[in-house]
Homo-oligomer: A and B are copies of this chain.
Amino acid sequence: MKKYVSLFGLLAIVLGVAPSFILDTPPRSFADEGMWTFDNPPVRLLKERYGFTPTQEWLDHVRLSSVRFMDGGSGSFVSPHGLVLTNHHVALGQLQKVSTPQKDYIKDGFYAHSAAEELKCPDLEVNQLISMEDVTQRVLAAVQAGMNDEAALKARKAEIAKIEKESTEKTGLRSDVVLLYQGSEYWLYRYKKYTDLRLVFAPEQQIAFYGGDPDNFTYPRYDIDFALFRVYEDGKPLESQNYLKWNAKGAADGELVFVSGHPGSTARLETVAQIETLRDLALPLVLQTLKRRRDVARQYAAQGPEQARQATGLIFGIENAVKGITGRYQGLLDKNLIGKKQKDEAGFRALVASKPEWQQAYGGAWDTIAQAEAKSREMTKPLRFRSLGWARLSSMADAIVRYVAEVKKPDGERLEGFHDSQLESLRFRLFSPAPVYPQFEEAQLTANLEYCREMLGADDPFIKAVLGGRTPGELAKEAIAGTKLADPAFRKSLVEGGEAAVQASTDALIVLARKTDPFAREMIKWFENNVESVETPAGEKIGKARFAAYGKSTYPDATFTLRLSFGAVKGYPLNGTIAPSKTTLYGLYDRAYSFDLKPPFNLPAPYMDRKSRLNLTTPVDFVSTCDIIGGNSGSPVINRQGDLVGLIFDGNIESLVGDYVYNEENNRAVAVHSAVIIEVLRNLFDAGPVADELEGR
């Protein structure tokens, strides 16, 4: 039911995207809070706080100029010829895939001096939200009176699959049903899909991710974290009807700005019981797991420069996650935060209890969820570790084994990620020609097996079945040596051969996946029957209670679907002083020389050699009170006129608790300033043509 974990539902559980059948709390004095759906923009707040009322035209233009990166991020159209702007770190996976031992575009950057030089990405999909339709009545009507929880869940899922399939067939658009307000509303989102994207410009990672892991999730900051792709359709650049005009002046201190993007997931409205599971079990385990994965990747990278190149993207991703999740975890350990959550929940429950009809209808939901959470906590380790997911090839093997089994079933009965409406995107990824590095795969598979054995114990049936007496190292060596899955044509032949071909395959990784698949299915089933089917209706009750008590005056938790945030460009109290609303190129050089140009504070060659060409007063990054979260990376920052003034790339360290609570005092969205992109394109890279296209010259 949680669309945003779609394809890798189980992986998401392993990675700690915990069940979040979310609940609302009483309305707050909102401040610049909220990730609003485009059908319900914060009109009253905008008018009261900023005297601005967006027109429907404004909203449509912004929506259609925004795109979702299925690699996990956001972006926007920024020229009439299909140029799409996003972050370097959103583009990183593709940069890794188009790089070779001879051409390291992550390290050296990339600039296509002509259309012919634009570099096709192997497996990048972006989505543009074309329409939204409320299908709540239809989904809820699928549940018949007298059904038990399991049957009701099944009926809902079947109806959702049906809606999606019908829509896909009818419109040709990617069609996802999105659960909002914890099941009080279901919406059908239709997307135009683009899969031919070509790289136009990427700066060196050293400037895009300036300051490295230490500066990540912090501010003041000096990152020029952008990349430009061009969308092609039918082999030609897309003539994009909707795009954001570039405003190189940026936004002034205090100015109202908007962020249009795809926040991935928040847990602001979860019950205290659900948050306690995160705090006491899920997040510590996720952090431990990520750190182990990071160490494995670092060890591999330490073997030589080519190994380091291969592992760059993964190490970046894991370090990013470790720092981000650590911030969230620290937030949950803060007694004030959890105390506020407890107080809010108690107040809401008391309000519900004050009306007998509400108490009768909704009052038991919190305890129901708490009981399901208690059950899920006991199963934490099997749920998380009876599956493999570190090596790319073993994940693909799992997906292939599951694919051929699922597509035989009626659409409504399939596992999440394998519905008809989802298969095209899945195949696009599965058949990607991106390079695979067998030694890196082996190192990761070995470590994954060792870690699962450590977590579950050597006597766990999963471990016994998988290892069959061998050591993790032996098994991984055999499996990687004995697989042809690195070849996309082979993957395609298996999928097209269907269940017969997959069952008959002696490919070592497919054999391994056939052993792990039943355990994974058992865990998914257990989770559905014991947690999801219980918490979904309970969450719906809490959502209904909230609507009954307060009306629809708020925004739903994030679901990796398009949202509009708003706020002001504004500094904040920082470590005894105040952080400015923006930084300048002077500050980039200060940070560099403060650390004597030592990594990660060194500067790429153009910044040293061509420094005199730069106007050092140019703003680099800036902050606003816009309410964002992971997934918003690459989102445009837009002014009242609908022009682009910046590019979201991060939140400050104080924003990490934004998973649970928004704090206007010091939660800040960090963006690249529109001026610095033009400044470096023109003066450091002689990329005038791209700058001209952006500026509409």
Contacts and interface: CB of A to CB of B under 8 A. Distances in A.
Contacts of A575: 218, 574-575, 653
A590 B586 contact: yes
A19 B575 CA distance: 31
A576 interface: yes
B327 A576 contact: yes
Contact of A591 (B576, B580, B601): B580
Interface string A587-618: 10111011110000100000000000000110
Given A589-B616, A590-B586, A253 B596 contact: yes
A584 to B, nearest CB: 5
B211 A577 contact: yes
Interface in A634-665: 652-653
A214 B578 contact: yes
Contact of A582 (B577, B584, B594, B652): B594
Nearest to A589: B586
A217 interface: yes
A336 B391 CA distance: 43
B584 A587 contact: no
A596 B584 CA distance: 10
A593 B217 CA distance: 23
A583 B578 contact: no
Contacts of A584: 589-590, 593-594
Contacts of A594: 220, 580-584, 587
A215 interface: yes
Interface string A187-208: 0000000000000000000000
A623 to B, nearest CB: 11
Nearest to A211: B577
Contacts of A587: 586-587, 590-591, 594
A17 B327 CA distance: 39
A574 B212 CA distance: 15
Contacts of A214: 577-578
Contacts of A586: 586-587, 589-590, 593, 616
Contacts of A590: 583-584, 586-587, 590
B576 A653 contact: yes
Contacts of A577: 211, 214-216, 218, 653
Contacts of A327: 576
A489 to B, nearest CB: 46
A576 B652 CA distance: 9
Nearest to A580: B594
A493 to B, nearest CB: 48
A654 to B, nearest CB: 8
Nearest to A212: B577
Contacts of A593: 584, 586, 617
Contacts of A653: 575-577
Interface centre among A211, A576, A583, A591 (most CB of B within 10 A): A576
Nearest to A594: B580
Contacts of A616: 586, 589
A617 B59 CA distance: 47
A327 to B, nearest CB: 7
Contacts of A216: 577
Contacts of A253: 596
A601 to B, nearest CB: 8
Interface in A230-261: 253
A655 to B, nearest CB: 10
Contacts of A581: 594
A670 B576 CA distance: 15
Contacts of A574: 575
Contacts of A578: 214
Contacts of A596: 253
A73 to B, nearest CB: 21
A574 B323 CA distance: 14
Interface in A525-576: 574-576
Nearest to A327: B576
A305 to B, nearest CB: 26
Which residue, A580, A595, A652, has most C-beta atoms of chain B within 10 A?
A580
A671 B617 CA distance: 27
A207 to B, nearest CB: 16
Contacts of A215: 577
A512 B578 CA distance: 45
Contacts of A211: 577
A216 B577 CA distance: 8
A639 to B, nearest CB: 18
A165 to B, nearest CB: 46
Nearest to A583: B594
Contacts of A218: 575-577
A296 B616 CA distance: 41
A597 B549 CA distance: 49
A622 to B, nearest CB: 9
13 contacts: A211-B577, A214-B577, A214-B578, A253-B596, A575-B575, A576-B652, A580-B591, A584-B589, A586-B586, A586-B590, A586-B616, A587-B587, A587-B591
Interface of A: 211, 214-218, 220, 253, 323, 327, 574-578, 580-584, 586-587, 589-591, 593-596, 601, 616-617, 652-653
Q: Which 8 A-B pairs have the closest CB atoms?
A: A587-B590, A576-B653, A580-B594, A586-B590, A586-B589, A218-B576, A218-B577, A214-B577
Given A218-B577, A587-B590, A589-B617, 9 more contacts: A214-B577, A218-B575, A218-B576, A253-B596, A580-B591, A580-B594, A580-B595, A587-B594, A590-B590
